[in-house]
Amino acid sequence: MVKEAKDSSVPTTHRCLIVGNYCHDVLIKDDVVIAESLGGAASFISAVLDGLSVSSDYISKVGPDFVYSVNHRPITLSSSKTTVFHAYFSTESTRQDRILKRVTACDPVTPSDLPNSKFDFGLAVGVGGEILPETLERMIEMCKVVFVDIQALIRVFDPVDGTVNLVHLNQTGFWPLLNRIGYLKASADEAPFVDVEEARKWCCVVVTKGEDGCTVYSKDEELSIAPFPAYQVDPTGAGDSFLGGLVAGLVDGLAVPDAALLGNFFGSLTVGQIGLPKFDSRMVQKVKDEVLKRSLQHFGSHEKHEDEPKRLKPLDHEEFLAALSAAKVVPAYPIKECKWDLHSSPGALEQPACNGHRRLPLNPVCEEPIKSVDSKP
């Protein structure tokens, strides 16, 4: 008996597609390099999705100078350099005074870089301008539901020194695609550049608010989702971890409010550590068990809404909050500062090791306010 050959032209459906470049991040305080790390939203999202065993494909570009080991191999371009961000602080400054500069930029992700597959969920999570309108449009065609981190769409970069600014979404080439996006995530500082009231007519808008949790806006509903207590050490990457938790919850069939609660949970764990978070394996297993139990309990209520997750809070939402709170383990990682003189160093990425590690993990590209501009990108 001859087996019928499988038509290779028919794309296979996968779970998640994450698009966004990895970066080298350098944190500079008072002209002293105090930390370097792997950066890019994809790295934080990977930490959550991998921990929760969510199958995902990653499309990221780097140059041959990329120095980190990652679970999901990027596309290495011999003719380009890895994206590098410098974040500048001073002793007297507040978070609002941070100056973020893109020092080098890797090539953008183009539609031809994306796989010939279908996905249930797609995440457009660029940080350095690597997401193009045509790439997002192709993702919308490939994925049943697309999540977008607003920073991927509204960041612009000074042509002289690379300083990062924000422009309103309606001034970008992404605005016409708004009504085809499933979820749009923005921090409270980025939300004014979106026009939430207009955007919620077309997609679900989630605004993260740090220690105040988050708010989920749909066409007819506005829901506040409770935060988790956290001792904040480093807020960087919290929004990315939130997005990873949100998506993981929806992948497992949770209602949107429960998935957003899971996002708050992982965001709170991230702010308690420096750089890429390390999640306690026992805690992660408890969370996975709780999510599985919950998804099975609510399976029947989702059968009629497979293509549109429920956006109302389940009656037992508070029970889920209590279960996650009980599972939470806050690891005590020592915080040490490694200082290098920026002026006497030929390059931040060639600095010596600190505390026995090649890099002190810290990602300065995060949910922090950035100055706005009025011109188009």
Q: Got the DSSP string for 223-264?
A: EEE-------S--TTHHHHHHHHHHHHHHTT--HHHHHHHHH
pLDDT score for 115: 95
* Per-residue pLDDT band at 40 (split at 50, 70, 90): very high
Q: pLDDT value at position 37?
A: 86
Question: Residues 202-212: pLDDT tens digits?
Answer: 999 999 998 89
| Calpha distance 265→346 (Å, rounded) | 40
For the chain, what percent of residues have pLDDT higher than 70?
A: 78
Highest mean pLDDT among 149-158, 306-315, 337-346: 149-158
Q: What is the CA radius of gyration of the chain?
A: 20
* Pairwise CA distance, residues 282 & 304, whole Å: 34
Q: For 255-277, what is each residue's pLDDT tens digit?
A: 999 999 999 999 999 888 877 88
Mean pLDDT of 32-44: 90
Of 36-50, 89-103, 125-139, the range with the highest mean pLDDT is 125-139
State how far the Cα of 226 lies from the Cα of 214, in Å rounded to an integer.
7
Could you tell me which residue, 229 or 344, shows the higher pLDDT?
229
How far, in Å, CA of 3 to CA of 8, rounded? 15
DSSP 92: T
pLDDT computed for residue 300 by the predictor: 57
Instruction: Give mean pLDDT, residues 159-177.
Output: 96
β-pairing, 143-149 with 214-217? unpaired
Over the stretch 275-295, which tens digit does the pLDDT of each residue have?
788 899 999 999 999 999 988
User: Is 240 an active-site residue?
Assistant: yes
More confident residue, 316 or 346: 316
Given pLDDT bands bounded at 50, 70 and 90, which one contains residue 377? very low
In the set 189, 240, 252, 258, the catalytic residue is 240
pLDDT digits (tens, 9 = 90+) for 107-131: 999 999 999 999 999 999 999 999 9
User: What is the pLDDT at residue 88?
Assistant: 85
Q: Tell me the residue type at 336.
A: K
Residue 296, Cβ density class (10 Å: 0-12 exposed, 13-18 middle, ≥19 buried): exposed
Helices (H), the chain: 41-51, 133-142, 151-154, 196-199, 238-251, 256-271, 281-297, 299-302, 317-327
330-363 residue pLDDT tens = 444 444 444 444 443 334 444 433 333 334 434 3
Residue 267 or residue 365, greater confidence: 267
How sure is the predictor about 309, in pLDDT bands with cuts at 50, 70 and 90?
A: low
What gap in Å lies between CA 49 and CA 61, rounded to an integer? 20
Whole-number Å distance between alpha carbons of 27 and 366: 12
Does pLDDT of 308 surpass 70?
no
Helix (H, G, I), strand (E, B) or coil at 133: helix
Going by pLDDT thresholds of 50, 70 and 90, the confidence category of residue 371 is very low
* Mean of all residue pLDDT scores within the chain: 82
Give CA–CA dist 250/237, Å, rounded.
20
Confidence grade of residue 231 (pLDDT, cut at 50, 70, 90): confident
What band does 175 get if pLDDT is binned at 50, 70 and 90? very high
Distance CA 180, CA 178 (A): 5
Pairing relation of β-strands 32-39 and 340-341? antiparallel
Q: How far apart are CA 1 and CA 311, in angstroms?
A: 50
- Tell me the residue ranges of DSSP E strands in the chain: 13-19, 23-29, 32-39, 56-59, 61-62, 75-76, 83-89, 99-104, 118-124, 143-149, 155-157, 164-166, 183-187, 204-208, 214-217, 222-225, 340-341
Check residue 265 and give its pLDDT. 96
Pick 326 or 332 by higher pLDDT. Answer: 326
